[in-house]
Amino acid sequence: MRKVSRTDITGPASLLSAGQAGEKELQKAIQHYGSATKKKFPFAAYKGDDVRHTLEKLFHGKCAYCESRYDITGPVDIEHYRPKGQVEGSPEHRGYWWLAGDWTNLLPSCLDCNRRRYQPVPEEFASLTGALESARQGGYRAILSGKEASFPLAAGGIRVIDRPDPADMVVALEAEEALLLDPTRDDPAAHLKFFIDRENPLGLVFPASSSEIEVLALPAATSSTEVLENAAREAGVSVRGAVSIQVYGLNRIALIQERTRVLRKLELLATIVIDMFAVVDSLSRLRVAERDRPILNTAILRARGAASRALGEIRGMASPSAPFSAMVAAWIKAFKKDISTPQPVPEALGDDPTVAGLINA
């Protein structure tokens, strides 16, 4: 999950312009929910083509929660951050119906993050060692995940039941103290941390920890309530991160495998970069006859080119349009730290005396 700003793009006219589908539907919904009828309201404005296309552009065809490319693997669910029809665990709640066509309440989601079903996850999350052992040895168990109508609140949150006065809307919704992360409202990096082990890559995500000794552990529970209780007992662990991982299913086996594949590709590219720097350094130190200088220069240029292409690929994998870009950014941070020792850098590749400097070039 990566931070996304809605101000980066013009929102869909069908929901934001006066007299369009969104405004018309809201007025009908107000009348519907103000009556005694128990019938469901047929929301449709949020399904408009311009809504779908705008979400695809804003999120680069990726799921807002897991950053996988839904535009390749399957259709997108236009997801309501606050559920429109009902709220899990609150039988009296008719859903946040007044936000069904609210642009700020809509997110693109892959089917597995949004639809409720059992998904395999690492069997043991009581400790980092246990989680890694389970994932690497293929020890999995199925838990029910997928957001659907889930919208858990913190213990002190005040659930909004009916449509507030528009002037009080923002304050009322903030008072709920929502536990689920919304990448357009929150900074996911403050709540989620990717496990980066450059020796043995594994694409797990954990709730972030504010303590100096990071707590990379949390039981894979069967409900958001259980996760909330477990996270609350762990000092310094982001409760919102923990609940979001469970509800969205961010450690389901398919995601772990795909993120691990990306991490392994990054390690391969890193090897190419470092090896090519070593080759350039060695060749640059050679003393050859003038007649052999063109051959040596050609070899140096080829090594420089290979390093540049590998670095370009790494940068591309961290771009907002790339799958799992938040995890790639975390890997780059670790990579830069590992190779921060000054070393010769080919003039054609940059001026910073470290390989790490070239990542930002």
- 336 assigned to some structural domain: yes
Helix or strand holding residue 277 (H, E): helix 253-284
CA distances, 52 to each of 11, 247, 293 (Å)? 11, 23, 58
The answer to whether residue 116 scores a pLDDT higher than 80 is: yes
Buried residues in 10-32 as b, exposed as e (16+ CB within 10 A): ebbebbbeeebbbeebbeebeee
Pair (329, 229) in one structural domain = no
One-letter amino acid of 117: R
Angle, helices 239-248 vs 224-233, to 10°: value is 150
Q: Which pLDDT belongs to residue 321?
A: 94
- 1 assigned to some structural domain: no
Pair (125, 171) in one structural domain = yes
- Nearest CA to 252 among 348, 329, 140? 140
**Contact of 54 with 61, CB cutoff 8 Å:** no
Range of the domain at 221: 6-251
Q: Which pLDDT belongs to residue 124?
A: 65
268/155: higher pLDDT: 268
Q: Is 255 exposed, middle or buried (0-12, 13-18, 19+ CB in 10 A)?
A: buried
The answer to whether residue 228 scores a pLDDT higher than 70 is: no
Pair (242, 268) in one structural domain = no
Say how far apart CA 146 and CA 98 lie, in whole Å: 23
Q: Which of 221, 251, 281 is the last residue of a domain?
A: 251
Q: Which pLDDT belongs to residue 155?
A: 86
- Nearest CA to 193 among 339, 331, 335, 337? 331
Pair (264, 138) in one structural domain = no
Pair (230, 275) in one structural domain = no
Pair (219, 284) in one structural domain = no
255: left (phi over 0), alpha (psi -120 to 50) or beta: alpha
Q: Which of 197, 228, 251 is the last residue of a domain?
A: 251
Q: Which pLDDT belongs to residue 351?
A: 44
**Contact of 303 with 272, CB cutoff 8 Å:** no
| Number of domains into which the chain is organized | 2
- 169 assigned to some structural domain: yes
**Contact of 120 with 109, CB cutoff 8 Å:** no
Say how far apart CA 12 and CA 22 lie, in whole Å: 10
Mean pLDDT of the chain: 85
- 147 assigned to some structural domain: yes
Pair (207, 348) in one structural domain = no
Where is average pLDDT lowest: 138-147, 157-166, 223-232? 223-232
- 309 assigned to some structural domain: yes
Q: Which pLDDT belongs to residue 125?
A: 62
Instruction: For 105-138, give the secondary structure using H, E and C.
Output: HEEEECHHHHCCEEEEEECCCCCHHHHHHHHHHC
Pair (47, 59) in one structural domain = yes
The answer to whether residue 353 scores a pLDDT higher than 50 is: no
The answer to whether residue 10 scores a pLDDT higher than 80 is: yes
pLDDT, one tens digit per residue, over 62-90 is 999 999 998 666 678 899 999 999 999 89
Token pair recorded at residue 36: 């005694």
- Nearest CA to 194 among 282, 262, 270, 92? 262
Going by the DSSP 8-state scheme, the letter that residue 237 receives in this structure is B
Pair (244, 207) in one structural domain = yes
- 51 assigned to some structural domain: yes
- 347 assigned to some structural domain: yes
Pair (82, 51) in one structural domain = yes
Pair (219, 305) in one structural domain = no
Token pair recorded at residue 101: 């066509």
Q: Which of 190, 221, 251 is the last residue of a domain?
A: 251
Q: Look-up: residue for tokens 């086996």? A: 253
Number of H helices, E strands in the chain: 13, 6
316/155: higher pLDDT: 316
- Nearest CA to 150 among 230, 246, 279, 59? 246
Q: What is the mean pLDDT of residues 278-303?
A: 86
Say how far apart CA 93 and CA 102 lie, in whole Å: 18
Supply φ then ψ for residue 255, to 5 degrees: -70, -45
Q: What is the mean pLDDT of residues 334-339?
A: 86
Read off the pTM.
0.85
One-letter amino acid of 267: E
Q: Which pLDDT belongs to residue 345?
A: 45
- 69 assigned to some structural domain: yes
Pair (269, 184) in one structural domain = no
The CA-to-CA distance between both ends of the chain, in Å, stands at: 25
